[in-house]
Amino acid sequence: MVRHVLWFEDLRRGDVATVGGKNASLGEMVATLAGQGIKVPGGFATTADAFRAYITHNNLDARIADTLAALEGHRIDLAKAGAAIRAMIREGHWPQDILAQINAAYAQLCTREGVADVPVAVRSSATAEDLPDASFAGQQETYLNVRGAEALLAACRRCYASLFTDRAISYRRLKGFDHDKIALSIGVQRMVRADTGGSGVMFSLDTETGYPDMVLINAAWGLGENVVQGAVNPDEYQVYKPFLDRPGLTPILEKTLGAKAKKMIYGRTGGDTRNVPTSKAERARFVLSDPEILELARMAATIERHYGQPMDMEWARDGDTGELFIVQARPETVQSRLDAGAFRSYAVGQHGKVLLSGLSVGGAVATGPVCVIEDARDIDRFVDGAILVTSITDPDWVPIMKRAAAIITDHGGRTSHAAIVSRELGLPAIVGTGTATHVLHDDQEVTVSCAEGETGFIYEGTAEFSVQDIALSEIPQTRTRVMLNMANPAAAVRWWRLPAGGVGLARMEFVINNAIKAHPMALIHPECLDDKTREKIDALTLGYDDKKLFFIEKLAMGLSRIAAVSYPDPVIVRMSDFKTNEYADLLGGRGFEPHEENPMIGFRGASRYYSDAYAPGFALECAAIKRLREEMGFDNVIVMIPFCRTPQEADRVLEVMAANGLKRGENGLEVYVMCEVPSNVILAEEFAGRFDGFSIGSNDLTQLTLGVDRDSGELADLFDERNAAVQWMIKTVIERAHAVGSKVGFCGQAPSNDPDFARLLVGYGIDTISVTPDSFLAVKRNVAEAEKTP
């Protein structure tokens, strides 16, 4: 007897020709990874030969071929061709041997699970699906909560028919696959009660940059179709993969709370599902706990290690048992196939006002007219080269997505259909904007920028932008370590391929300003705030009962993404260096900050850290650094103190840090000082006795050496970092620090703007130069040339 049905445990990943990529992968995991903690719901698969036998039994081969020939000859349109073929297949009858085997397998699955008419997911698995050069994302159908043998057979027919949906036909034409050489296997898998739990999608690398040390997880309440389709804005979690095997660490780099406005649950009858609104409580809390995030990330790492390549996975959590399951796994098909030896960088210049923002996909920039289409039935209105704006996409949209300059959606996360297909097509996309279809209108000229980190921006009009192609093989080696200046954690991962020597300056205040947004003292003393401000802070800290914990966790996670990309190279994190007017602009900040006529040389930097007015806020900064280094594992982080005016002030700051768990020298902690006040140069030996190194901040050092307000337009001509007095300061601190064995770096903007300045620093014997990422290549070349000069 020919076996038309095979149990998952009898399959291996080499069985793609027999059961398609999806089912072969399920079988591989069931058979080989169960002992490594990978749970996959049990089930069985019909073979590709069963599909061919079904087609032949119903005399459909010639009829399908004739219909497709009419389509290629333009005698019939795509919609009519697809509808005709699907109707033929749905109306077919089962060969008796296949019918008997499916019924027997389903009865045995019910027995195994101890449930009569056990609910199953019925998934399509094309024999050419999930190949390395094509994702076939969602091209065929999946049916959930199917109960009973009769409903199962009907769902199987519909799966067969879905091999010829309009989108599947179109996609195969795009990828050059012959229709008659592709067959369909059906996977029948026990349903996980994710309708009362949660589910989502997971990648074993960063989907936007190809950064290999990250696991990206999206999560929503209920069944997973909403996440896959992009119908909801899910939670997003990022995990640092190399630390997953280190006991006691929690290397979660980011947790973003998604709107999760609805969830898909079981319908009232078998084979039925429906969407219902989520509760306020569900929208206000994360789907996954930290231990669950780490458990899923470990599964992703295990699966990737087994397959030997980056993977794209779907997962589900059973609401009854709390167990986590992998329900699909396939090779990642975009980033893993890019040239790792080169990358293209986009930079946005002058631009119009920000109209909208969302999650960026693709890293590129595009301009063009908007074309708003809210229903796939209207895709004929699309204009080639326009920017497609829609609520969500599904595979029916692929024919016009490939003709678009960029894509914008109201809903969806970075693992939604729109995001996956945009990456595959090489298009920039911004998903989850919320209101794009309401705010934007047809023929409106906009710029879509995905070049500024995880947040994508839609700018009014046509922005200026530049493109740089960097071949990593062309970057020379240097004795002088060239590092990066980083502020935006979301953009840090873009530069993971650069062979930088670490991060010479990570600005803490960027994270506070953009991720935390509230003044730390306002979080500590909400009773001092007016009702309106307190309401805003309550909304900002949604999901956190302890507002201080919100500050600590957000700051630690924000900095962790910078630390992760550079690990194990050093990352120098400067403690907060807002001026009082900038602190006052934070939410709730006005009541905690004095008014100063000249904040630039006022209550800033080190002087704040031991002051009664800010010491509790500084304690939160210290707690975040302690969490970053000790709980998350990023012991490559070095702390730097800005604007430290005297050695006595240094002593007070170090004492406060030690009282907050950050003692210089313990657990390998190094503490640097910014060299930006002339006293840092004049008393260099005394400062060197208190700190492990100096980092020259040339903007403030120039300002205070020349007595020139760096923000004054009238004095702009006098502000010159190459002035002889400033150069004396730089040269002298390097000489004096080196004489007592202290390291000196340079983190000012000058080497980024002026390559000759980099040569000057090499001549002075600087240890490290830290520059903006977009100028890294030019500075690195200039440093190499300078090192050749005797």
* Omega within 30 of 0 (cis) for the link into 568: yes
Chain-centre distance of CA 86, in angstroms? 38
Q: Are 643 and 604 in contact (CB under 8 A)?
A: yes
E strand intervals along 318-401:
324-331, 342-348, 354-361, 365-372, 387-390
Q: Spell out the alpha helix ranges (H) of 313-403.
A: 398-401
Residue 508 backbone zone (phi > 0: left; psi -120 to 50: alpha; other: beta): alpha
What does the alpha-carbon distance between residue 187 and residue 44 come to, in Å, rounded to a whole number?
6
Q: Taking CA 641 as the corner, what is the angle to CA 636 and CA 643, rounded to the nearest 5 degrees?
A: 150
Please, how many CA atoms are within 13 Å of residue 55, restricted to the half-sphere of its CB? 24
Residue from 386, 343, 426, 444 nearest 773 by CA: 343
Does the annotation count 675 as an active-site position? no
Written as six digits, the tokens of 445 are 């000229």
Written as six digits, the tokens of 273 are 């599902």
Written as six digits, the tokens of 462 are 């046509």
Residue corresponding to tokens 């094509």: 134
Phi, psi of 132 (to 5 degrees): -55, -30
What secondary structure does DSSP assign to 379-407, as a single string?
Answer: GGG--TTSEEEES---GGGHHHHTT-SEE
Sign of the torsion formed by the C-alpha atoms of 295, 300, 301 and 307: positive
Q: Are 185 and 125 in contact (CB under 8 A)?
A: yes
Does the annotation count 4 as an active-site position? no
Compute the residue count for the chain. Answer: 790
How far CA 189 is from CA of 8, 17, 761, in Å, comes to 9, 20, 64
What does the alpha-carbon distance between residue 479 and residue 661 come to, in Å, rounded to a whole number?
35
* Catalytic choice (371, 450, 644, 747): 747
Residues in a beta bridge with 121? 189
Q: At what angle do helices 149-161 and 96-113 cross, to 10 degrees?
A: 120
Residue 784 backbone zone (phi > 0: left; psi -120 to 50: alpha; other: beta): alpha
Q: Are 550 and 522 in contact (CB under 8 A)?
A: no
Residue corresponding to tokens 């839609």: 458
Q: Are 729 and 779 in contact (CB under 8 A)?
A: no
Written as six digits, the tokens of 531 are 């009702």
What does the alpha-carbon distance between residue 517 and residue 311 come to, in Å, rounded to a whole number?
35
Q: Which residues contact 124 (CB under 8 A, 6 or more apart)?
A: 20, 22, 140, 141, 142, 159, 162, 163, 184, 185, 186, 187
Chain-centre distance of CA 715, in angstroms? 43
Amino acid at 302: T
Which of helix, strand or coil describes residue 42?
coil
Residue corresponding to tokens 């960097």: 470
* Catalytic choice (110, 417, 450, 644): 417
Sign of the torsion formed by the C-alpha atoms of 495, 497, 498 and 499: positive
Residues in a beta bridge with 266? 273
What does the alpha-carbon distance between residue 579 and residue 602 come to, in Å, rounded to a whole number?
7
Amino acid at 9: E
Q: Are 788 and 765 in contact (CB under 8 A)?
A: no
Active site residues: 417, 747
